[in-house]
Amino acid sequence: MFRRLHDAGGQSVTIDFEGDALQVGAQETVAAALMAAGAGHSRTTPVSGAPRLPFCMMGVCFDCLVEIDGVPNKQACMETVREGMKIRRQDGKRRLDP
């Protein structure tokens, strides 16, 4: 569904999303990397459990919330990927005690 408009030609890093190793561009945001990899939804809603994907890509909508390296409520569109980063979907309401 999503594809990169151009190849940045830079380095790549390996991230872990829900246990799957993904090779992504080193300068990408987590949200862009996950969408380009076809990783599916980033979170589910607290009430209905509906899946959500990043929408605004600029830190406004909060539909991109994920858990990064054990820390919940991270906006995937505001985080740049790092080698070895472990990312999990954020299901339902946020936890206050990570």
Q: What mask of x and - would describe binding to ligand FES in positions 34 to 53, judged by CB under 6 A?
A: --------------------
Tokens 């406004």, residue?
60
Stretch that binds ligand FES, among 2-10, 12-20, 33-41, 54-62 (CB under 6 A): 54-62
89 binds ligand FES, rule: CB under 6 A = no
User: Which candidate, 43, 8, 47, places its Cα nearest to that of 25?
Assistant: 8
How far is residue 13's CA from residue 95's CA, in Å, rounded to a whole number? Answer: 29
Rounded to a whole number of angstroms, the distance between the first and last alpha carbons of the chain is 33
How far is residue 53's CA from residue 44's CA, in Å, rounded to a whole number? Answer: 9
2 binds ligand FES, rule: CB under 6 A = no
Task: Indicate which single residue of 66, 77, 81, 87 sits in contact with ligand FES (rule: CB under 6 A).
Answer: 77
59 binds ligand FES, rule: CB under 6 A = yes
Tokens 């993904």, residue?
22
Instruction: Tell me which residues touch ligand FES (CB under 6 A).
Output: 31, 54-57, 59-64, 75, 77
